[in-house]
Amino acid sequence: METLRTNDVKVAATYLRAGKLVAFPTETVYGLGAHAFDSHAVARIFEAKGRPADNPLIVHVAEYAALSPLVAAIPTDAKTILSTFAPGSISVILPRHPDVPSIVSGGLDTLAVRIPSHPIAQAFLRETALPVAAPSANSSGRPSPTTWEAVAEDLDGRIDCILQGPPSDVGIESTVVDCTGPWPVILRAGSVTLADLQCVVPTTQFADTKASDANKRSPGTRYRHYAPTAYVYLVDSMNDIADTVQAGYIGLEAFNIEHPFQLVAQCTSLEDYSHRLFAFFRACDRAGIRTIYCQRVPDVGLGRALMDRIGRAAQASSGSR
Ligand code: TXA
Ligand code: MG
């Protein structure tokens, strides 16, 4: 299959309306979209990514009014969260409308929905005038793509179209909040933080990852995630790094010239760290780097989301070798 690359939102929307797979930019990461009511097209998403069938997808729409055919109800807390943070980097889990094919939500009776704010995502969704089911546009288990080139690296020849845009600003995936229970529960940390959410709904909590039902609630957390080919290590400071042969370093601490890393990303803020993380993982793999050191940051705010992604990548590299 040839994968069309285009800057033209209209062309990309025509592809999507014809039941094809279209990767598109959002402010978090690039998504791989299909018409959410077309089970055949949605099945092709799972095939193209090599994604387990029980890992549910997020459905994207341009505006709040477009949610009604997708969900059976929007509880008060979800309304508050959406009216405060959407359009933006947040996904909200609601009861699934019975008309939405269950393949979209991996068989669950809930559905994650998101209203991205990126102008190209907005224009694309408006042009399709359809709800678009879209996971991150990477091969399953690889770091999420923050550029269209990263999408092409994983999925060229496996999808129909890439809508080209600039690199994603945020760089890590949306905050996922389950609003189907008695209080909102964060299943995946993101740039909308616990403190942000508690400002509008004070009862919001993180999921208890040790609780027996945590896996059931967030199926994605069961799978290998965000992992480059290289080993990933979390380090508290440069002093913890012994071996710099074929190694990369990303963090906030100033680069020490005594460490001749092959690749270095010295980030200026937590936002910059998030923005660059997945692209850095991919650059390290392309450079044949064997070890990536990531500097630990405090596990709060955006730091929590960063530590979650890096922690999973580190776990995947220790678990798979
Ligand atoms: O920023 C993002 O969220 C990007 C862009 C493209 O929107 N999308 C994204 O999708 O990261 P994906 O499929 O890579 O991650 C979605 C996560 C998975 O961990 C999945 O298990 C979880 O959300 N999820 C989706 N629907 C769910 C549901 N109904 N119940 C529990 N978890 C759900
Ligand atoms: Mg993903």
143 lines ligand 1 (CB under 6 A): no
DSSP states of 118-171 as a string?
-HHHHHHHHHHTS-EE--BSS-TTSPPPSSHHHHHHHHTTTSSEEE--PPPSS-
Q: How many CA atoms lie less than 13 Å away from 26 in the CB half-sphere?
A: 33
Residue 58 CA to ligand 1 centre (angstroms): 5
171 and 278 in contact (C-beta within 8 Å)?
Answer: yes
Residue 309 CA to ligand 1 centre (angstroms): 14
> Within the chain, which residues score under 70 in pLDDT?
209-225, 255-257, 318-321
Confidence at residue 321, expressed as pLDDT on a 0 to 100 scale: 44
- Tokens matching residue 240: 């913890």
Virtual torsion, Cα 48, 49, 55, 60, nearest 10 deg: -80
pTM over 0.75: yes
Confidence at residue 320, expressed as pLDDT on a 0 to 100 scale: 46
pLDDT in tens, 11-63: 999 999 999 999 999 999 999 999 999 999 999 999 999 999 999 999 999 99
- Tokens matching residue 310: 């890096």
218 lines ligand 1 (CB under 6 A): yes
Confidence at residue 222, expressed as pLDDT on a 0 to 100 scale: 63
Measured distance CA(294)–CA(310) in Å, rounded: 7
Confidence at residue 168, expressed as pLDDT on a 0 to 100 scale: 98
Confidence at residue 210, expressed as pLDDT on a 0 to 100 scale: 63
